[in-house]
């Protein structure tokens, strides 16, 4: 399992209210939600993001509300992976549960800038910054989490 | 090595003698909760399982409280969708407009959360029920769906921070000031993945409403759960509200905590969190001159009886400053009725504030009190993130009901002691 794309870089404490503002939560349609993804922190994000791109952020990414609409919006926007120093715990669960791969790696975050090209191998936990020629290793997903992500979420995995 | 309160509850719900931090477990659930924003996603996921009933129709609660009374057609459709599901599944604890309240005020009032329970809710402030000595945590919609299907949820056993409370809060200081003070001290990720466990002699000086407010905001420090040691006051509350059996868990004497903080409640001042994070706190003495446009008093954090009593006490016989909007919303219909009986609604309305039906609306910028560009609000809610209550260039200052009510009168953030 791999991901590759251009980096969108954000700071610490990106909360779920800026990932998907509550004013858009009168729907749960992924495509609708994606249209407003990151709107309150980066209004050009949705214009610029391409399938496969990667979000890289500081600590406590996804803090605040439990809205699963946040990882749903990120995934539906085409993002292939989020790398952060740490994740807020509900966001972490929600991402795995809907099949959005996320990784914690402080060094990779510190060594990555916006627009870098990054490749991630989830099986080995390897993060390669192709622009800078650097490589980082983090804890790979245990097998059951890889299976949940491959099944596109927990419910499909359970049904599996 | 002994266990914390949280670890003991989780062990008991997993059928294990002992659990250790980091251990992955699958625990039995006493209650699975959702609201009108998170339940539609959960129901869609649940439907994929093909099941025609939930694991236990008495252990699921659905409370449409966020965008209700329905704010627009899409919100109405979402509510209709979950109403039909609740009806089809014969969910015993579905609360319609008219009987509902803000979920985290309603669930304890209805006696659905008791000491020793394991509760998940698809709402981050589900941690509120830790005030009753339960393990209670926020999850997402998929976890809610799986919980409704199986009655189980997997957890990583958390380590914990211990807060030993001493002394008595002074003057207008309430649970809100204490928890803002603590979040300011440890930061918005200070308790990430961990439990916050509250105990100590000072507990006897905190009312249940203080404790609900404090447990409610554990998530604003990143915590998995906040939990209070059970005392006579907790038991009194539970006996008054619930017939469910309960079990009291206390931490082992040799329980291991990552950190121990001693908090002298008598030294805490009224505290305000400035934009745009709950840990950006200042005491009321350090606030400076901040003019405001709106005051919001209510929410799952501060929409309970004592909150309304304090607000009414300050507003009684005074007037909200011309040009300032003051919006008060009670947590539940029972709280609404009690406020009517005590004459609080009259005090509040005569002061020139509005008194709303229970709803989460303004807290998350949903409806009933949205901020325009450049506007500032003092709010007794729980989050002051960018754009939380409206325009991306608006500002939210988090405070207690006393500070909020005092600020409504002067039009600037005000120490309630300075109101003449």
Query: If DSSP codes are grouped into helix, strand and coil, which group holds residue B373?
Result: coil
The whole-angstrom separation of Cα B17 and Cα B247 is: 16
Eight-class DSSP state of A136: E
Token output for A98: 């809907």
Helices B39-48/B141-150 angle, 10° precision: 50
Token output for B381: 């809610």
Subunit contact B41:A72, Cβ cutoff 8 A: yes
Terminal Cα distance for chain B, rounded: 55
CA atoms within 13 A on the CB side of B271: 25
> From the list B188, B277, B365, which residue is nearest A22 (CB)?
B365
The whole-angstrom separation of Cα A100 and Cα A37 is: 15
Decide if pLDDT at A144 tops 90: no
Chain A and chain B share a number of CB contacts under 8 A equal to: 127
Subunit contact B146:A154, Cβ cutoff 8 A: yes
CA atoms within 13 A on the CB side of B107: 37
Token output for B21: 């931090």
ω into B262 cis (within 30 of 0): no
Nearest CA in chain A to B47: A155
- CB < 8 Å to B121, chain A: 66
Decide if pLDDT at A29 tops 90: yes
C-alpha triplet B33, B140, B225: angle, nearest 5°: 75
Backbone angles phi, psi at B125, to 5 degrees: -85, 15
Subunit contact A68:B385, Cβ cutoff 8 A: no
Burial level of B317, CB count in 10 A (0-12/13-18/19+)? exposed
Q: Rounded to an integer, what is the distance from CA A95 to the centroid of its chain?
A: 8
The residue among B44, B140, B280, B381 with the most chain A CBs within 10 A of its CB, best to mutate, is B140
Strand B325-329 to B354-355 pairing: parallel
Q: pLDDT per residue over B68-84, tens digit each? A: 999 999 999 999 999 99
Contacts of A123-126 with CB under 8 Å at 24 or more apart are A123/A1
Q: Which residue has the tokens 């870089």?
A: A9
- CB < 8 Å to B369, chain A: none
Q: pLDDT per residue over B234-256, tens digit each? A: 999 999 999 999 999 999 999 99
The whole-angstrom separation of Cα A89 and Cα B223 is: 8
Query: If DSSP codes are grouped into helix, strand and coil, which group holds residue B124?
Result: helix
The whole-angstrom separation of Cα B370 and Cα B377 is: 10
| Interacting residues of B83 by C-beta distance below 8 A, sequence separation 6+ | B64, B94, B96
The whole-angstrom separation of Cα B230 and Cα B402 is: 27
Instruction: Report the pLDDT value the prediction gives residue B264, as an integer from 0 to 100.
Output: 98
Subunit contact A159:B122, Cβ cutoff 8 A: no
Q: pLDDT per residue over A69-113, tens digit each? A: 999 999 999 999 999 999 999 999 999 999 999 999 999 999 999
Token output for B70: 């329905």
Concatenated DSSP letters of B260-303:
EEEEEGGGPPPEEEPTT-TT-EEEGGG----B-SEEEEEHHHH-
On whether the CB atoms of residues A56 and A7 are closer than 8 A, the answer is yes
ipTM score of complex: 0.94
Instruction: Report the pLDDT value the prediction gives residue A142, as an integer from 0 to 100.
Output: 78
The closest alpha carbon to B234, from B360, B134, B118, B378, belongs to: B134
Backbone angles phi, psi at B342, to 5 degrees: -80, 0
Backbone angles phi, psi at B294, to 5 degrees: -145, 150
Bridge partners of residue B26, in order along the sequence: B154
Token output for B251: 């931490």
Subunit contact B140:A21, Cβ cutoff 8 A: no
Instruction: Report the pLDDT value the prediction gives residue A56, as an integer from 0 to 100.
Output: 98
C-alpha triplet B11, B12, B14: angle, nearest 5°: 65
Bridge partners of residue B264, in order along the sequence: B166
- CB < 8 Å to B149, chain A: 158
Token output for B155: 């957890």
The whole-angstrom separation of Cα A94 and Cα B220 is: 18
Does A155 touch chain B if contact means CB atoms closer than 8 Å? yes
Q: pLDDT per residue over B171-205, tens digit each? A: 999 999 999 999 999 999 999 999 999 999 999 99
- CB < 8 Å to B43, chain A: none
Terminal Cα distance for chain A, rounded: 19
Query: If DSSP codes are grouped into helix, strand and coil, which group holds residue B225?
Result: strand
On whether the CB atoms of residues B190 and B222 are closer than 8 A, the answer is yes
Residues of chain B with pLDDT under 70: none
Decide if pLDDT at A158 tops 80: no
Instruction: Report the pLDDT value the prediction gives residue A159, as an integer from 0 to 100.
Output: 77
Nearest CA in chain B to A98: B142
The whole-angstrom separation of Cα A134 and Cα B352 is: 62
Token output for B392: 């991306």
Q: Which residue has the tokens 């936990």?
A: A125
Q: Which residue has the tokens 């009670």?
A: B330
Token output for B140: 């997402």
Backbone angles phi, psi at B179, to 5 degrees: -70, -35
Instruction: Report the pLDDT value the prediction gives residue A1, as an integer from 0 to 100.
Output: 82
Token output for B301: 């954090």
Subunit contact A63:B45, Cβ cutoff 8 A: no
How far from B207 is each of B128, B131, B228, B261, CA to CA, in Å?
14, 10, 12, 21
Distance from CA of B193 to the nearest CA of A (A): 6
The whole-angstrom separation of Cα A65 and Cα B138 is: 9
Instruction: Report the pLDDT value the prediction gives residue A160, as an integer from 0 to 100.
Output: 66
On whether the CB atoms of residues B33 and B128 are closer than 8 A, the answer is no
């Amino acid at each position: 399992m791999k991901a590759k794309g251009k980096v969108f870089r954000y700071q610490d404490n990106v909360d779920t209210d800026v990932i998907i503002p509550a004013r858009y939560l009168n729907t749960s349609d992924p495509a609708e939600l994606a249209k407003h993804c990151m709107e309150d922190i980066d209004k050009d994000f949705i214009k610029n993001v391409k399938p496969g791109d990667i979000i890289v952020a500081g600590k406590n990414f996804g803090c605040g509300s439990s809205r699963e609409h946040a990882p749903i919006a990120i995934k539906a926007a085409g993002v292939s992976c989020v790398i952060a120093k740490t994740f807020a715990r509900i966001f972490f669960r929600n991402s795995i549960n809907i099949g959005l791969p996320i990784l914690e790696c402080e060094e990779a975050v510190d060594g990555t800038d916006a627009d870098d090209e990054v490749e991630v191998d989830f099986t080995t936990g390897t993060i390669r910054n192709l622009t800078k020629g650097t490589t980082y290793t983090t804890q790979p997903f245990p097998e059951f989490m890889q299976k949940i992500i491959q099944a596109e979420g927990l419910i499909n995995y359970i049904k599996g | 090595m002994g266990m914390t309160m949280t670890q003991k509850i989780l062990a008991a719900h997993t059928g294990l003698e002992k659990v250790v931090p980091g251990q992955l477990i699958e625990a039995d659930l006493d209650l699975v909760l959702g609201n009108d924003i998170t339940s539609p996603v959960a129901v869609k996921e649940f439907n994929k399982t093909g099941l025609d009933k939930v694991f236990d129709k008495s252990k699921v609660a659905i409370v449409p409280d966020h965008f209700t009374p329905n704010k627009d057609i899409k919100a109405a459709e979402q509510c209709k969708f979950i109403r039909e599901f609740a009806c089809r599944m014969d969910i015993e604890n579905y609360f319609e407009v008219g009987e509902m309240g803000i979920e985290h005020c309603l669930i304890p009032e209805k006696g659905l959360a008791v000491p020793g329970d394991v509760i998940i809710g698809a709402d981050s402030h589900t941690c509120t029920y830790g005030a009753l000595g339960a393990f209670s945590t926020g999850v997402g919609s998929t976890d809610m769906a799986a919980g409704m299907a199986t009655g189980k949820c997997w957890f990583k056993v958390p380590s914990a921070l211990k807060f030993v409370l001493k002394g008595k809060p002074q003057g207008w200081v309430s649970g809100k000031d204490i928890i803002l003070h603590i979040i300011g001290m440890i930061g918005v990720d200070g308790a990430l993945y961990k439990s916050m466990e509250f105990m100590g002699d000072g507990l006897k000086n905190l009312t249940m409403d203080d404790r609900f407010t404090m447990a409610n905001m554990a998530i604003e420090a990143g915590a998995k759960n906040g939990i209070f040691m059970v005392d006579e006051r907790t038991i009194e509350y539970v006996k008054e509200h619930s017939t469910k059996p309960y079990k009291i868990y206390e931490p082992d004497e040799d329980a291991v905590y990552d950190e121990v903080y001693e908090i002298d409640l008598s030294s805490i001042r009224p505290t305000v969190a400035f934009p745009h994070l709950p840990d950006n706190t200042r005491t009321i003495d350090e606030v400076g001159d901040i003019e405001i446009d709106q005051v919001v008093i209510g929410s799952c954090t501060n929409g309970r009886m004592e909150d309304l009593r304090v607000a009414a006490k300050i507003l009684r016989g005074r007037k909200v400053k011309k040009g300032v909007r003051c919006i008060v919303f009670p947590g539940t219909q029972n709280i609404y009725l009690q406020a009517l009986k005590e004459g609080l609604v009259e005090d509040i309305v005569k002061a020139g504030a509005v008194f709303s039906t229970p709803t989460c609306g303004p807290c998350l910028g949903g409806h009933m009190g949205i901020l325009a560009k450049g506007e500032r609000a003092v709010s007794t809610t729980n989050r002051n993130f960018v754009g939380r209550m409206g325009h991306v260039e608006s500002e939210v200052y988090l405070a207690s009901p006393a500070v909020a009510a005092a600020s409504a009168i002067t039009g600037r953030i005000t120490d309630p002691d300075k109101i003449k």
